Every structure is written in C-alpha cells, then in structure tokens.
Amino acid sequence: MEAAIVITDLLRDLERRTRPVHPESRAAMDARWAGLPDHVKTPNQLLGRSAVGCEGTHGVFPKCNLTCTPCYHSAEANQVRVDGGHTLREVERQMQYLRSVRGPRAHAQLIGGEVSLLDPDDHAAALAVMRANGREPMSMTHGDFDYAYLLALVLDAKGERRFDRVSFAAHFDSLMRGRRGAVRPRSEAELDPFRSKFARMFADLQQEHGVRSYLAHNMTVTPSNLEEVAGVTRSVLSMPYNMLSFQPAAFIGDNRRWKEDFAEVRIDDVWEQIEKGAGQELPWRGTQFGDPRCNRYTTGLSAAGTFAVAIDPAIPADTAARDRLLKHHGGMFFGGQTRFVLAARILRAAARYPGDVAVLLKMGQRIIARAGGARALWHAWRGKTLAVKTFVVHNFMDASVVAPAWALIEQGQISDDPAVREAQERLGACMYTMSHPETGQLVPACTQHSVLDSTENKQLLKLLPLRVKTN
Ligand code: SF4
C-alpha cells in the first residue's frame, strides 16, 4: 500500500514537472496580465502571455569605478563599500521574493554599480543564488576587466568549470570616463577595439574551457552621440554580441552628472539610427514588452548582415502564428531545466496541439526566405556570420515625472498633469522590476532610481562605509 502511494506521488510529481507550462508560471502570468493597464493589452503584448518581465537587483554593490554623464546611480553610491557578504545576503533575499511572486523562471540582471568590483568568488556565488531561484542571471558591467577576472569567475580553485554558460551586458559609450586606454573617448568609434576585445574574451572562454555566453552591448544615447548610433550598430553587428541595446539618457540618478538636454533624444530618433546602421528596416511591432513608450524590441536571424525578423507585423501569417502560439504555449520556458524535462515538455506540448508543429515549420520557412533562402543561410553559417540578434531601446523616464507619478500610484490617484499621467501609465505596465521583500513591493526600475536609491544608499553608507574602523 505504501509503495503504491509513493509511486502515485512520484508520477504526480513527474506529471507536474513535465507540464508544458509550469502551473506556477501560469499563475504568475495570469496575475501579470490581470494587473496590466488596458492600453497595453494589445495582441502583440508579451507580458502576461509569454513572460513576466525582466528583473534586477538593487543596493547589492552600488559602487562603480568609472564615471559617466549621465549616471543612473545616486550621488551616495560611490561611498558604499563593496562587500561580498552583503551582496549575497541581499541577492538571496531579493531573488527568493521574486521567485515567490513572479514564478519559477525569469531573466534577472545582477546590477548595481560595477559587477567586476565583486570578488570573483562572490560574483560566482551571486549567480548561483540567482539560478537556484529560477532566475537566468545577466551580469551588468562597464566591460573594463581582464580575462583573468573572467577565468576566476567561471572556474573554481581547482580549475573546474562552475558554469556552462554566462551572460554579460557590457556598457560602452563615449559618455563614460576612466576606461583604461580610453579615459576620455572623443568618439564612439574610438571604443570599437574595446568592444571587440571584450567580446573576444568570451570567444576564448568557449574555445579554451567550453563555457558558452550570451552577450549584450549597451549604450546610453544623448544629443552628443545620437548621430553615432548608426556607426556603433554597424560595428557591433559584426562582433559576436547577441543583443544591441540602447538607452536614451534620462534625468535620473546623480544630478551632478546631468550635462545636456537629454529630452531631445526620442525613442524614434534612436530606432531610426539603428536602422540606418543595420542598413534596413527593423520591424518591431510584431511583439511588445510593456508600454511602447518605454521599450522597443525586435529579434530575428542575422545571416551575413541581413536581418530576418522573427515576426513581421505586416505579414498576417506571422501575426496569426504569434497569436496561436502565445495562446497555446505562452509561459513555456526552455532554460533552467534538465534536457529530459525540457524534451518531455516539448513532446507533451506537441501532442496536445499537433497542428502547431506545422505552424512553427511554416514560420521557420518564412524567416529563412527573409534571410535570403537556405543557400544564403548555409553560406552564412560556414562564414560564421549566422546568429540570432536582438535590438532593444529602453527609454527610462525623468525623475521629475516618476517621483510624483509614483506618489500618486501609492495613493491610488490619477494625475491631471498629462506628463505625470503618462508616467503613471508607463509605470503600471513596467517590464523591468526590482524587488522589495521588506515592504512586499515590486517596483519599476525608474522608481528605484528616481525615488528609492538615494535613501537606500544613505542607509548603506552607515552599514558599509568605505573606511572600516579598526579599533
Ligand atoms: S523601468 Fe521605467 S522605462 Fe523601463 S519599463 Fe519600467 S517604467 Fe518603463
């Protein structure tokens, strides 16, 4: 009898673990959709359908050793000591809370000041904590560290691999000061060798130690470097970065570093420049994360310089396939599980909706045709120019609208001021969240940087002063 109960429990557990959409993901996704404002509940919306959104850490290592204009961190950040014990405690607390509220799988950024100021062992431990909580971590860096640091992060004391795969987002732009070898860059092009060197470290890592990587290239855009976005896009597209992400500057963070009229840079201006650099249109309306005033995103196949978007909003067969696949399989995830569980999930999904296999195949055929056909793909693969590329613009808001908007959201009121009301709408549809287990809140990154960082860093100043008293 007992054996029968044990077997029944095991089978029940197996059924649950191999369900195509994890039940907790389903619940988190449904709650996300229910909480979204109506204006973003459009057919192309991915939040609440296939993703809960991005997550990030805060107050875990505020210090940075470069200076940027602008800088999203509060004026106090550089007075806080980097302390591995504190980082690990905070990352664990924040990730556990995200796991409990946002479900078993999400992408999360290990972000604060500069991640490479963390001891490599602490950095590795933080990534492990994030993974243990179902988060796919991405380390955010200025990219000015050496291969020795990367090796110390990825390999343990015995030289054994700690990870099969790592993700980094490296920020390179001419607004940054203090990079070794480019202390005050005069142009974006001057940074190309540094962009290339950073990416090369990861190619070496794969070749020498079999550790794969996902790399994003980040760039802040102000009126002074807007015209150079096309050039950066062109250069970075030829490097092994998977994602090209651009952030129009906003008046948030350290106000001593607000130098220009950032408001002049609109999300459309940046996208236009990216398209100019890519040498073609980059259709983005097929999918959307959150509010289109915050985010622009497109992903597809790049073959020998030709970008073939995954979902072309102008092609009815593409949008019909998107709607069908989201309806049937939204919330299914592919990482953070054994191959056996993943295979079982895919098989169960295919068995439940057999017609979707043909839909996926036809979608694949259309992408291949856009990329120039099977022969072009074959040549691109042989020439090592075949890759999945993603383009992103993330448009942070100014603190002057975020602060009043957040205050009103907390009071359950809507502003009469159109600019503040717009900020309220965007915060309500935010796709980049930070976790506050102490208050039970998830807050948008705009709110974190505009409203909460300063107080948080003042508290951290007392907890982790730069000078440690020895007597
Ligand atoms: S962090 Fe700010 S800009 Fe980004 S999605 Fe959230 S509200 Fe929009």
Position 103 in a domain: yes
Position 17 in a domain: no
Ligand 1 pocket test, pick from 251, 266, 294, 452 with the greatest ligand atom count within 8 Å of Cβ, gives 294
- Walk across the sheet containing 432-436 and list its strands: 306-309, 295-303, 386-394, 243-248, 212-221, 165-171, 135-141, 106-110, 54-56, 432-436, 441-444
Position 450 in a domain: yes
Choose among 326, 329, 315: nearest CA to 362. 315
Residues with CB under 6 A from ligand 1: 290, 294-295, 394-397, 426-427, 430-432, 444-446
Q: Judge whether residue 471 has pLDDT over 90.
A: no
Residue reference for tokens 């622009």: 296
Position 202 in a domain: yes
Q: Judge whether residue 1 has pLDDT over 70.
A: no
Position 369 in a domain: no
Give the pLDDT confidence score for residue 16 in this predicted structure.
Answer: 85
Ligand 1 pocket test, pick from 288, 392, 424, 432 with the greatest ligand atom count within 8 Å of Cβ, gives 432
- Cα(395) to ligand 1 centroid in Å equals 7
CATH of the domain at 233: 3.20.20
Give the pLDDT confidence score for residue 11 in this predicted structure.
Answer: 87
Domain that holds residue 455: 52-309+390-463
In 83-232 the beta strands, taken as DSSP E runs, fall at 106-110, 135-141, 165-171, 176-177, 212-221
Q: In total, how many domains does the chain have?
A: 1
Indicate the average pLDDT of the chain.
93
Position 226 in a domain: yes
Position 337 in a domain: no
Q: Which residue has the higher pLDDT, 397 or 77?
A: 397
Banded pLDDT at 260 (limits 50, 70, 90) = low
Least confident of 1-5, 219-223, 259-263, 373-377: 259-263
**pLDDT 10s digits, 39-62:** 999 999 999 999 999 999 999 998
CB 58 within 8 A of CB 457: no
CB 311 within 8 A of CB 286: yes
**Atom 8 of ligand 1 has which residue's CA nearest to it?**
294
Position 15 in a domain: no
Give the pLDDT confidence score for residue 2 in this predicted structure.
Answer: 77
CB 112 within 8 A of CB 76: no
